[in-house]
């Protein structure tokens, strides 16, 4: 294992120092909404996701410009379309935004109701949808730097990995969650489990989750178990003849126990878990009906959120 530099973390402002994972590959785990990264190349800077809160996005830009003064921003890759990853795009202009084709959609901003100073900042936000899209894979070659985009879905229909094969670093978006409940309201759990399997076979040294600090490939197991457990329990309830609402209220307590939840976030997390259960119920219902040879047409009931 290569040695990881420890982050120097500062102050009460919600801003923090960048952390260098490999020469020229940086992340910052201090911001709300996502863990953004950037990759220095011989031609300029490739960014991965953008902080949600304007002051933090500006801080991130300043840190990048400090590290590489005057170097152009070549591309900003959004690992999914959720606002935690994409709403800060405007602070890196002029840059071309690259994301999966499905990410080209509106982003919600009705948030931070209890933090008016942050909400006020969002009044001036301009949504920058992707300039460039891809559907399965794309490879960026800048000088000696090779950056591979790999569509995996799972968390959302747009979720994509940013893989640096030479450095063994993979930005995994919201496929991997560590010590917290994965946000599943727009998920496809079979696709998600395949994405986790893919990550295990990738031979990466570092995974950079969409939220929180860097981990190793072993971190894929717990989130996979969580998803498998939820699928299994929902199937039990479905086969016992429970309807969707009975399943949601019957299982939310069991799911809550998987990860610690701070008291002030309990209501929010509970409602997120229920959205996930809602989604999984429909998947299991479809699987069970199809296994029984019945044709089902279930409407998509996407729910929008920001994780």
As a whole number of angstroms, the distance between CA 237 and CA 288 comes to: 12
Phi, psi angles (nearest 5°) of residue 74: -80, -50
SS3 122: helix
**Of 288 and 304, which CB lies nearer to Zn ion in the complex structure?**
304
**Of 17 and 180, which CB lies nearer to Zn ion in the complex structure?**
180
**Cβ(209)–Cβ(35) under 8 Å?**
yes
**Of 167 and 174, which CB lies nearer to Zn ion in the complex structure?**
174
Give me the least distance between CB of 152 and Zn ion, in Å please: 12
Lookup: tokens for 250: 């019957």
Give me the least distance between CB of 210 and Zn ion, in Å please: 6
**Of 74 and 103, which CB lies nearer to Zn ion in the complex structure?**
103
Give me the least distance between CB of 34 and Zn ion, in Å please: 8
Give me the least distance between CB of 292 and Zn ion, in Å please: 33
**Of 19 and 307, which CB lies nearer to Zn ion in the complex structure?**
307
Give me the least distance between CB of 99 and Zn ion, in Å please: 12
Rounded to 10 degrees, the C-alpha dihedral 135/130/160/137 comes to 40
- Taking CA atoms, 196 is separated from 85, 96, 125, 207, in Å, by 20, 29, 34, 11
Q: Within its chain, how far is the Cα of 84 from the centroid? A: 8
As a whole number of angstroms, the distance between CA 145 and CA 272 comes to: 38
- Strand 145-151 relative to strand 160-164, pairing: antiparallel
Query: Which residues sit at the interface with Zn ion, rule CB under 5 A?
Result: 80, 82, 174, 307
């Amino acid at each position: 294992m290569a040695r990881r530099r420890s982050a120097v973390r500062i102050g009460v402002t919600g801003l923090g120092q960048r952390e260098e994972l490999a020469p020229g590959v940086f992340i910052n785990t201090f911001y709300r909404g996502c863990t953004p990264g950037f990759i220095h190349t011989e031609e300029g800077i490739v960014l991965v996701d953008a902080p949600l809160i304007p002051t933090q996005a500006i801080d991130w830009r300043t840190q990048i410009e400090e590290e590489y003064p005057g170097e152009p921003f070549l591309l900003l890759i959004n690992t999914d379309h959720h606002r935690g990853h994409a709403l800060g795009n405007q602070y890196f202009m002029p840059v071309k935004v690259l994301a999966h084709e499905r990410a080209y959609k509106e982003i919600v901003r009705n948030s931070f109701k209890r933090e008016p100073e942050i909400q006020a900042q969002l009044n001036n936000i301009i949504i920058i949808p992707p300039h460039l899209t891809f559907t399965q894979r794309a490879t960026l070659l800048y000088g000696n730097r090779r950056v591979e985009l790999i569509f995996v879905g799972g968390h959302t229909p747009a979720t994509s990995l940013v893989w640096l094969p030479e450095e063994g670093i993979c930005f995994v978006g919201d496929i991997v969650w560590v010590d917290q409940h994965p946000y599943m309201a727009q998920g496809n759990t079979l696709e998600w489990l395949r994405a986790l399997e893919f990550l295990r076979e990738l031979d990466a040294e570092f995974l950079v989750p969409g939220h929180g600090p860097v981990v190793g490939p072993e971190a894929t197991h717990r989130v996979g178990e969580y998803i498998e457990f939820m699928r299994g329990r929902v199937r039990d309830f479905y086969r016992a003849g429970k309807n969707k609402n009975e399943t949601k209220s019957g299982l939310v307590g069991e799911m809550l126990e998987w990860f610690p939840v701070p008291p002030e976030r309990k209501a929010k997390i509970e409602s997120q878990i229920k959205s996930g259960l809602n989604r999984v119920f429909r998947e299991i219902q479809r699987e069970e009906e199809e296994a029984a040879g019945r044709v089902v047409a279930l409407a998509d009931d996407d729910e929008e959120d920001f994780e």
